[in-house]
Amino acid sequence: MAQVTLSRITKRYPGSDTPAVDDVSMTIPKGSFTTLLGPSGCGKSSTLRIVAGLSKPDFGTLQMDGRDITHLSAAKRNIGMVFQSLALFPHMTVAQNVAFGLEMRGMGRSEREAKVARALDIVELGHLAARHPHQLSGGQQQRVALARALVVEPSILILDEPFSALDRKLRETMQIELYRITRELGITAMFVTHDQEEALTLSDSIVVMNQGRIEQQGTPREIYGAPRTRFTAEFMGLSNFLPARCSSGALSFEGLTTARPETLEAEGDCTVALRPEGLSLSSTRPEGAALKGHLAEAIYQGASTAYTLDLPSGRRITARTPDCGLQPGQEAWVSWTPGALHAFAA
Amino acid sequence: MALTDTAPPPQAQPAPRKPLSPAWLTLPGLCFLVFVLLLPVGWLMALSLKPSMPGAFTMEGDWTIANYLRFFSQPFYYSTLIKTLWVSALTTGITAVLGYALALIIWTASPAKRGWVVLIVLSPLLVSIVARTYGWMIMLGDRGILNQALLGLGLIEEPIQIMYTAGAVIIGLVHVFVPFMALCVLTSLEKIDPKVPEAAMTFGASRWAVLRRILLPLTVPGLASGLTIVFSLSISSYVTPALMGGPRSGMLTTFIYQQFAVTLDWRFGAVLVTLLLALTLLVLTSILALAARMTAKWSK
Ligand SMILES: Nc1ncnc2c1ncn2[C@@H]1O[C@H](COP(=O)(O)OP(=O)(O)O)[C@@H](O)[C@H]1O
Ligand SMILES: [Mg+2]
């Protein structure tokens, strides 16, 4: 296991005006599971490929345990990589696939076989060792790819959206397994996904990326609970953005003044976001901060109902709460739990 | 009730016609093949079993294998078979190495450069075979550009004979056949997920290991079609051996030509044709069977 540090990594593909990776710096501590999270095309794979040594940065350096590896070839970095397309070797059996990395390291046959058997046991595939990849289901192929990457005891395990091709149920099972395996073995991992839930489930640390740049990094709690930009907030499922002003002790929006959240760093113009799931509605004025509006729509969605409320300013907010019996056309008050309100620089 | 009475009686459906098997679509092609290939070749094979008689093109005479005995009892005759075989094998081998390298270059070239590389690779096919062959004669002759250059540099004392040797034939053939090989291998390379060799690299494989352990096994199908195409083209080539190997090239095809056009001994010539065909089929089926065995486990 190793600590990996990216310093000011920048990569621009030929023929493109904007860099795919723009001045990215981060540290992946030893034994930590770090996730790059962002929409498709934001430069996650490009960053991973640079860490893996499959592509060279135009600028910036890469260190592993303090050693500069910027110019070291992929073959010498001691990484274990799981590709989005899995990239299993189609002409080799499951056991040969898993053994490949050990063979390239010159390990003797008996030691190799013991390690392969153990790795296949970890992913519960021992009974399929003699099959070829095309004879396996999607989930089984996934496990082979994972075993192949784990067996070499990599300094860092790199996974590029490994579960995106799986159906929801299988994906959740694999996430739990990956969590268990990486924590049991104390693996340093760098994971890429565009799925915020997956990132929150698996990670010790999340790096939110947008257009090649790092938007915010922190623990899942920090990223989810205190997004610092509108982009991160939106990516973490926040909506109901309202313009606001903040001063030394107070935050005001939609004619309401409340206490200023501790996490807010801005002064002057800022934006407030309200998590739809944290809002509740009532026909009478509740205690504490609340906004009054006109109920425009109520859409029943089973566990919750989505209410759309027109505010006097003309802006709309959506609340998702258990059905509260209010009908469209009525006046209603909306209030929120403390964790549902976020504010950040506009 | 009235409604049912006046309703038209259900029309008797015509018995559904049994659809013709799609195999019938091959009929025109099969007819063509029978008339232009199987009939003439069969006729020649039959002719090879009639007593040798210059000027006789018809089937009269008793059945005999005397022509075959004559061929295998004379070193002058059967050595052509051996020479044809090794020249073709060597041509195929060299073409395979060069063609594979070119295919790799095309495969890894950026899309912008790719068109140009393909054009360069295909260039030998853009020139007529005769012009191309004379071009090589200018290059390789005793007073050719290559010898002049080597003499000028003082590397040799007197011209080396390249033209009218097996070497010249091989050079001439390889030059034309490389594009076929490259395109066959490329077809197989294109089917490989580019992440597969990358994955191998991340697991510590050197470039050589990626080639040997990943790319070569995965391109066996393309390699096999390239080898069969190039081998059959080499063994049956006539113009290049005739022009670059000289009148005594010692290749089976030039020998066949002499039998049919010069000595007019069609019946002995038919022996050569039959042997050439048998040998080609033997080599091709071996290559294809071997390739099928190597890929049976994983190719879908
Ligand atoms: N090999 C490449 N050549 C040119 N542009 C590329 C290449 N790979 C990625 N890009 C571009 O770089 C940007 C980032 O891509 P990528 O890192 O794959 O994003 P992500 O993995 O976050 O979806 C995209 O705009 C993409 O089109
Ligand atoms: Mg990607």
With residue A64 as reference, give the H or E element that holds it. strand A59-64
d(CA A189, CA A1): 9
In 3-state terms, what secondary structure has residue A286? coil
Look at strands A189-193 and A156-160 and give their pairing: parallel
Q: Which two tokens stand for residue B158?
A: 């007197």
Cβ atoms within 10 Å, residue B202: 28
CB within 8 Å of B4: residues ≥ 6 apart: none
Per-residue model confidence as pLDDT tens digits over B168-195: 999 999 999 999 999 999 999 999 999 9
Q: Can you tell me the mean pLDDT for B70-84?
A: 92
In 3-state terms, what secondary structure has residue A9? strand
Residue whose Cα lies nearest atom 12 of ligand 1: it is: A20
CB within 8 Å of A164: residues ≥ 6 apart: A84, A193, A194, A195
Task: For residue B122, give the nearest of B186, B192, B169 by alpha carbon.
Answer: B186
Closest CA in chain A for residue B198: A54
DSSP structure class, residue A271 = E
DSSP structure class, residue B170 = H
Q: Which two tokens stand for residue A246?
A: 């903040």
**Residue B6 has what pLDDT?**
52
Q: Can you tell me the mean pLDDT for B94-102?
A: 97
ipTM confidence score: 0.86
Instruction: Check if A193 has its Cβ closer than 6 Å to any atom of ligand 1.
Output: no
**Residue B59 has what pLDDT?**
85
Pocket test for ligand 1, best of A46, A55, A161, A194 (most atoms within 8 A of CB): A46
Question: Which residue segments constitute the domains of chain B, with CATH numbers given?
Answer: 61-299 (1.10.3720.10)
Residue whose Cα lies nearest atom 6 of ligand 1: it is: A13
B contacts of A87 (beta carbons < 8 Å): 193, 195-196, 198-199
**Residue B10 has what pLDDT?**
57
Instruction: Check if A18 has its Cβ closer than 6 Å to any atom of ligand 1.
Output: no
Per-residue model confidence as pLDDT tens digits over A117-156: 999 998 899 999 999 999 999 999 999 999 999 999 999 9
Burial class (CB in 10 A: 0-12, 13-18, 19+), B105: middle
CA distances from A171 to A54, A199, A285 (A): 27, 13, 44
Q: Can you tell me the mean pLDDT for A24-41?
A: 96
Rg (CA), chain B: 27
Q: What is the pTM of this model?
A: 0.86
Task: For residue B138, give the nearest of B127, B124, B148 by alpha carbon.
Answer: B148
Rg (CA), chain A: 24
Look at strands A256-259 and A341-345 and give their pairing: unpaired
- Whether the per-residue pLDDT at B2 is higher than 50: the answer is no
- Whether the per-residue pLDDT at B72 is higher than 80: the answer is yes
More confident residue, B219 or B160: B219
- Whether the per-residue pLDDT at B1 is higher than 60: the answer is no
Task: For residue A155, give the nearest of A31, A62, A26 by alpha carbon.
Answer: A31
A contacts of B113 (beta carbons < 8 Å): none
Question: Which residue segments constitute the domains of chain A, with CATH numbers given?
Answer: 4-230 (3.40.50.300), 240-345 (2.40.50.140)
What proportion of chain A, given as a percentage, has pLDDT over 90? 72
